[in-house]
Amino acid sequence: MQEAAFAALGLKAFYLVLELDRPHFHKVFGNIERLRLGGFNVTVPYKEEVIPYLDRLTPRARGIGAVNTVLYQGRKWIGTNTDVDGFLLSLERDGKFRPRGKKTLIFGAGGGARAVAYGLADEGARSIAITDIYPEKVGKLFKDLKPLFPKTEWITVAQNEEELKTVLRDVDLVVNATAMGLKPDDPVIIRASWIPQGSAKRRMLFYDLIYRPSVTPFLKVARRRGHRAVNGLGMLLYQGAKAFEFWTQKKAPVPVMRRVLENALKSNP
């Protein structure tokens, strides 16, 4: 996707995959001054761990507490977060959903969830409920974001059937920001019996940040109950386009990027 965008604009640049386990990640980034890169992306699980190695964060990345895109500029490593842009653009264009005044539920409290929560609050969401198997992560997220968005109601939800069923009766948007669903044997994070039946008058939007497989168990359950479902392909595309623009200061060729991305996923589902 990125190399197709570079080629479309005649830029001599290459996008490489550097896959590191945790010990090697910290070894490499402990010597970040030796990296000969113009910039890079960071993905799970390093969106928060990369921050101490950077020289500066954009205000958005600082507020979110997670970085997914880094630029080397003026001998400084600058971190930003384009996941917010990607999620909000996909939510609007693919999901036909605007967060202002809406009630939302997020599964997960990691780096992806932080970007989602920040974006929803920044767009005026009425309430944001978050559930995670590690309650301390939810507490840290709230501690960081609540002061930035005092008009949004922040709600902690325990991971039990009773609380989740109560919240699901009243929300407009449900987001899976966990990695559950990436693997075929992953447990289902939400059961059909917890979700109210959708109707012409009330249909929730279920959004899964995962894009491969294209229909996760989370989305299958939502559709079975009569609700709308969108995967994370659009978020991947739009965050990548914003990253491209951050690195190059040029407008991203989004149609080119979309075509290459979709073809790549078709050939490697």
What average pLDDT does this structure show over 245-252?
Answer: 98
**Is the pLDDT confidence value at 241 over 90?**
yes
Hey, which residues are catalytic here? 47
Mean pLDDT over all residues of the chain? 95
CA distance 124 to 152: 7
pLDDT of residue 111: 87
131: region left, alpha or beta (phi > 0 left; psi from -120 to 50 alpha): beta
pLDDT of residue 151: 97
pLDDT confidence bin for 165, thresholds 50/70/90: very high
Which residues face 229 on adjacent strands?
206
pLDDT of residue 267: 82
pLDDT tens-digit series, residues 58-95: 999 999 999 999 999 999 999 999 999 999 999 999 99
What average pLDDT does this structure show over 15-23?
Answer: 95
In the chain, alpha helices (H): 2-8, 22-29, 59-64, 83-93, 111-122, 135-145, 161-168, 217-224, 233-248, 254-267
pLDDT of residue 266: 86
pLDDT tens-digit series, residues 167-225: 999 999 999 999 999 988 898 899 999 999 999 889 999 999 999 999 999 999 999 99
CA distance 118 to 68: 14
pLDDT confidence bin for 149, thresholds 50/70/90: very high
Residues 6+ apart with CB under 8 A from 99: 88, 91, 119, 120, 123, 124, 125, 173
Number of helices and strands in the chain (H, E) = 10, 10
pLDDT of residue 113: 94
CA 58 to chain centre: 17
pLDDT tens-digit series, residues 24-50: 999 999 999 999 999 999 998 899 999
Domain with CATH 3.40.50.720 in the chain: 84-233
**Is the pLDDT confidence value at 268 over 80?**
no
CA distance 191 to 96: 25
pLDDT of residue 245: 98
Domain with CATH 3.40.50.10860 in the chain: 2-82+235-267
pLDDT of residue 53: 97
Per DSSP, 253 falls in state: -
pLDDT tens-digit series, residues 97-119: 999 999 999 999 998 999 999 99
Kindly indicate whether the domain formed by 84-233 is annotated with CATH number 3.40.50.720: yes
CATH of domain 2-82+235-267: 3.40.50.10860
pLDDT confidence bin for 153, thresholds 50/70/90: very high
